A and B are shown apart, each in its own frame.
Chain A
């Protein structure tokens, strides 16, 4: 699934998160939230550590991770792109923006570019409906998007 191997330090940290939640299976979702918050995503070995710590099958952890769209098993890009598909943005053509982004960086929703620069996700409403259609790159909001602007915006994004 993933070439990623957890370092012993990360294993210790993940185990500490589980312990903080009393190693309770009922705390699984909170534990997953905290792990994803810290590490950006939930790779297979991390889910196995959690399963072993809580004494539940890895299938159960994987079931929860795949059920909720918030959880991801793919590392996010350095510049995560989110396109709003909320009602206001949608009726003003955000789907076309999404298609153009997909075309320009060559990945699908939920994926990350091979160089790790961009990842692509959708979300529902960032509370800026007046600027629809809206996309976000990192924490910056781009409003009144048009497909022909997409390439230029993406090309201007530079790694620090």
Chain B
């Protein structure tokens, strides 16, 4: 590739043609400040509006300062990132951004994680010389998943990019102009009245406190200290690969054992694991795959293929809103979170003699859509939810800090039995490709009657947006596909609608990377390496598990023997399956 030589801050640097000054500077350790810029390299997540102008640099011979993020390197360019002119301009730009910011940092939910706050500290801004106008058209809103406080918006457009370009949902966009600009749903409706999927990717990338999660930590504290309640925990797979980051550990540190100890220290009466329910999901979904395949091969033309995974509530919301004509393609299996709640409040509660109303099931999820999912009517029993509420990985970190629990120094412990026993197949649910791989391990053995020669299906792993593979099932070529982000899901669904899709099984996750990149995870701040490290951690946990196939989980086998009978039995259908509803916006003419 053609190389370009230039000088940045008196250092010679050689970069491939087309490289931006920002990246060229980073390659020699010069870290130019940015705010709106976001680039998860290797994924489709890119926000490059060059709108904040904080990355301005001086290019010799150029009249105006140039934004480093979107200015290409040219041969023999001489760039200064820290001349007096640049330093002054950058400071003024930051001061102008602050001019209409509420500056209530001390009580802001984003305090300590706010990229604007970090920048103001870095630029040594100690006064606010400008005072902007009062803003009246910006809204505050609380949905079950997301809190919008648009007073804190700095118009970086990251949320708009995620919602429109990456997720293709289009629930958020810029409206009006000038001082009255705000990022809002169409017709200034509330998010809850739109096609928002609650995926939380807008929250995952918001640099300030304009978009945050609905906080359930006070509710959890109350319940944990209530002697009349039995509170049980179910942490999702992806939590164990990310929670450590909140306590200064490097990305990808597995904290499974500490997580179990910490939840016990907090006061949970029983510490179980969503991984158990992930294994259960594989049993139900796996047998649904087998059932549809066998009927298809027997010539039953009413069978809908491909079957699509249904564990991701952002994705479920998406197809309910956008593809109501295709609702009979996704598996009817509930998500692991929901299956856990249903089993805990039936099988386990009956076994333990705990009345349903005394039991509080709390999930710890990498996800904000899970907060919405627990409110779904189809996941309630006699009006009471199966899972009472869900907190995010970030909320768990906050509550641990509040409860004076020194997470990093905790010893490891195991999850309680029986709902804490899990296999490697359950663990990898937390990454894109994981649910499909876990299902394949079970489907292969159930279909062929043979033991898998190699447990890993590496062909479905990775971070590529859409991946496909053909798996040999005793001579039958099973065509599978993995998609993550809703934009990629839309591509698949459009093909399905037009009859061009040729797969048997499709896995979809709404967030980039799957749950490891969920809207409730510790902020990645634009570093794709964080997602890669979390993904690697989950595969490593799988590799070290003594049991790696869901159908070999002894407590799952026992659950079927004692209670459910068999996958897709009448009781399984009642407790572990669901139905989908048409949520498309109906035009009123």
A residues near B, CB below 8 A? 1, 5-8, 10-11, 44-45, 47-49, 51, 56-63, 66-67
Checking B186, B187, B588 against A5 with a beta-carbon cut-off of 8 angstroms, the contacting residue is B588
B residues near A, CB below 8 A? 164, 169-177, 184-188, 585, 587-589
Q: Is the CB of A66 within 8 A of B175?
A: yes
Residues of B within 8 A of A60 (CB): 164, 170, 173
Q: Is the CB of B589 within 8 A of A57?
A: no
Q: Distance in Å from the Cβ of A42 to the closest Cβ of chain B?
A: 11
Checking B176, B187, B589 against A58 with a beta-carbon cut-off of 8 angstroms, the contacting residue is B187
Q: Is the CB of B186 within 8 A of A61?
A: yes
Q: Is the CB of B170 within 8 A of A57?
A: yes
Q: Is the CB of B177 within 8 A of A67?
A: yes
Q: Distance in Å from the Cβ of B325 to the closest Cβ of chain A?
A: 15
Q: CA–CA, A11 to B588, complex, Å?
A: 11
Chain A contact residues, majority secondary structure: helix
Closest to B174 in A: A63
Residues of A within 8 A of B169 (CB): 57
Checking A5, A47, A61, A62 against B589 with a beta-carbon cut-off of 8 angstroms, the contacting residue is A5
Chain B contact residues, majority secondary structure: loop
Q: CA–CA, A41 to B588, complex, Å?
A: 18
Q: CA–CA, A25 to B570, complex, Å?
A: 50
Q: Distance in Å from the Cβ of A63 to the closest Cβ of chain B?
A: 5
User: Can you list 9 A-B pairs, Cβ within 8 angstroms, ordered by A?
Assistant: A11-B589, A45-B587, A45-B588, A56-B170, A58-B186, A58-B187, A60-B170, A60-B173, A62-B186
Q: Distance in Å from the Cβ of B59 to the closest Cβ of chain A?
A: 32
Q: Is the CB of A8 within 8 A of B589?
A: yes
Checking B164, B176, B184, B188 against A57 with a beta-carbon cut-off of 8 angstroms, the contacting residue is B164
Q: Is the CB of B187 within 8 A of A44?
A: yes
Residues of A within 8 A of B164 (CB): 57, 59-60
Q: Is the CB of B173 within 8 A of A63?
A: yes
Residues of A within 8 A of B185 (CB): 59
Q: Is the CB of A59 within 8 A of B588?
A: no
Q: CA–CA, A99 to B362, complex, Å?
A: 59
Q: CA–CA, A7 to B171, complex, Å?
A: 26
Q: Is the CB of B170 within 8 A of A58?
A: yes
Q: CA–CA, A51 to B587, complex, Å?
A: 12
Residues of B within 8 A of A59 (CB): 164, 170-173, 175, 184-186
Residues of A within 8 A of B172 (CB): 59
Q: Distance in Å from the Cβ of A39 to the closest Cβ of chain B?
A: 13
Q: CA–CA, A22 to B207, complex, Å?
A: 38
Q: CA–CA, A61 to B186, complex, Å?
A: 8
Residues of A within 8 A of B187 (CB): 1, 44, 47, 58, 62
